[in-house]
């Protein structure tokens, strides 16, 4: 009976529509991060290069057209905007928009650490880097700032009524290290440096007037179908028997999240006037993998919706958005969209769990701007 009740409650939380909060809660949203939040900045940086997101089936579920998002529909940042009655965030680099109600600085492939760090440590990137790290995104924010406010008092008043989202972003730092052939043990040695960069970004934003900052943790990287495909092994000992994920990469994610939570707690003490919210990304996603039926994910949780070939329906040369690669008919029943990103259905649940709890401390709806 207890198990049945838990399943029903989980299902209701997943299906429950996000209710409108008072329109005065936040007047704007500013998002920093990577492709989990990018709404078009990479399209500007890529210039004339064609991107997968320029093609269907990206955007098929909600927008019914390519929307420059790495999913079948809306992202967490979109659901947060809906919650507070704000427009979907425009990518800052498009420039030709009004950003009075917020801006999106997130961009595909962004890292917490600058490219100079990777060069100094002889970590070779698998592609030419672009200026998209946290420091670059902060520079873009500073470029925009004079159009929003002029004096220190005016800026503190304006940004004090804004919601800031800082991450997720760190996953790409570890992907860069992975592509540079670093072991998980070697990656572990850099976690504190990555956390320091994230904390520095949060400090900078608070010093400029931010009062409410959401800090998402890292996803369970060992559950990414792309990584599972690349590292596929006949050695069953590398997999978690409860999830089928590669345990050492999930251990890395948990270690990262543990240090990030410690950093957030220290910042909460240092800035008691601000509301700094740790948003757990790991637990909701790992629960999708362990108990998919509870959340309406009736398809195998490690199988990609939009892909082709192999055990996980993912093949690097033939990714979602390329010719002859199709999407599943019901993305609502899948956790993973394209091997690296989640479906709108998964993002909806995560956003709801951050807004109301239990996966944000405190829940965002308990942290209305003053």
pLDDT of residue 17: 43
Q: How confident is the model at residue 2 (pLDDT cuts 50, 70, 90)?
A: very low
Q: How confident is the model at residue 170 (pLDDT cuts 50, 70, 90)?
A: confident
pLDDT tens, residue by residue, 235-277: 999 999 999 999 999 999 999 999 999 999 999 999 999 999 9
pLDDT of residue 326: 96
Using CA atoms, how far apart are residues 48 and 93, in angstroms rounded to an integer? 15
- Whole-number percent of the chain with pLDDT over 70: 91
Task: For residue 33, count CB atoms less than 10 angstroms from its CB and return exposed for 0-12, middle for 13-18, buried for 19 or more.
Answer: buried
Helix (H) or strand (E) holding 279: strand 275-279
pLDDT-wise least confident of 18-32, 143-157, 280-294, 333-347: 18-32
Using CA atoms, how far apart are residues 218 and 281, in angstroms rounded to an integer? 6
pLDDT of residue 124: 78
pLDDT of residue 80: 97
Q: Work out the widest C-alpha separation in the chain, in whole angstroms.
A: 62
- Whole-number percent of the chain with pLDDT over 90: 82
pLDDT tens, residue by residue, 342-359: 999 999 999 999 999 999
Question: What are the catalytic residues?
Answer: 35, 338, 341
Q: Are 162 and 144 a contacting pair, CB within 8 Å?
A: no
pLDDT tens, residue by residue, 308-348: 999 999 998 999 999 999 999 999 999 999 999 999 999 99
Count of CB atoms situated within 10 Å of the CB of 2: 6
């Amino acid at each position: 009976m207890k198990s049945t009740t838990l399943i029903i409650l989980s299902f209701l939380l997943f299906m429950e529509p996000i209710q409108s909060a008072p329109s005065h809660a936040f007047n704007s949203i500013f998002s920093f991060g990577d492709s989990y939040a990018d709404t078009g900045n990479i399209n500007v940086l890529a210039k004339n290069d064609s991107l997968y997101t320029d093609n269907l089936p990206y955007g098929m579920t909600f927008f019914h057209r390519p929307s420059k998002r790495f999913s079948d529909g809306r992202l967490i940042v979109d659901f947060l905007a809906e919650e507070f009655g704000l427009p979907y965030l425009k990518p800052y680099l498009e420039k030709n928009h009004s950003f009075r109600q917020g801006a999106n600085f997130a961009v595909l492939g962004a890292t917490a650490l600058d490219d100079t760090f990777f060069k100094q440590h002889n970590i070779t990137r698998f592609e030419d880097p672009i200026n998209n790290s946290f420091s670059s995104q902060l520079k873009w924010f500073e470029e925009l700032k004079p159009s929003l406010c002029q004096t220190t008092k005016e800026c503190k008043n304006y940004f004090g009524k804004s919601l800031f989202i800082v991450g997720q972003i760190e996953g790409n730092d570890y992907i860069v290290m992975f592509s540079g052939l670093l072991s998980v043990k070697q990656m572990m040695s850099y976690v504190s440096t990555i956390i320091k960069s994230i904390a520095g970004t949060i400090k900078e934003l608070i010093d400029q007037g931010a009062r409410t900052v959401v800090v998402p943790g890292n996803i369970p990287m060992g559950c990414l179908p792309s990584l599972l495909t690349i590292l596929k092994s006949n050695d069953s000992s590398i997999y978690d028997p409860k999830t089928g994920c590669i345990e050492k990469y999930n251990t890395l994610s948990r270690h990262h999240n543990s240090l990030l939570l410690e950093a957030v707690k220290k910042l909460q003490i240092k800035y008691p006037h601000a509301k700094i919210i740790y948003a757990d990304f790991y637990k909701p996603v790992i629960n999708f993998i362990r108990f998919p039926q509870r959340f309406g994910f009736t398809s195998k949780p490690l199988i990609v919706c939009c892909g082709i070939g192999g055990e996980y329906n993912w093949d690097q040369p033939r990714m979602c958005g390329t010719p002859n690669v199709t999407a599943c008919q019901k993305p609502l029943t899948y956790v993973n969209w394209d091997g690296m990103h989640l479906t709108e259905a998964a993002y909806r649940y995560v956003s709801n769990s951050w807004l109301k709890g239990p996966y944000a401390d405190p829940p965002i709806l308990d942290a209305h701007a003053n």
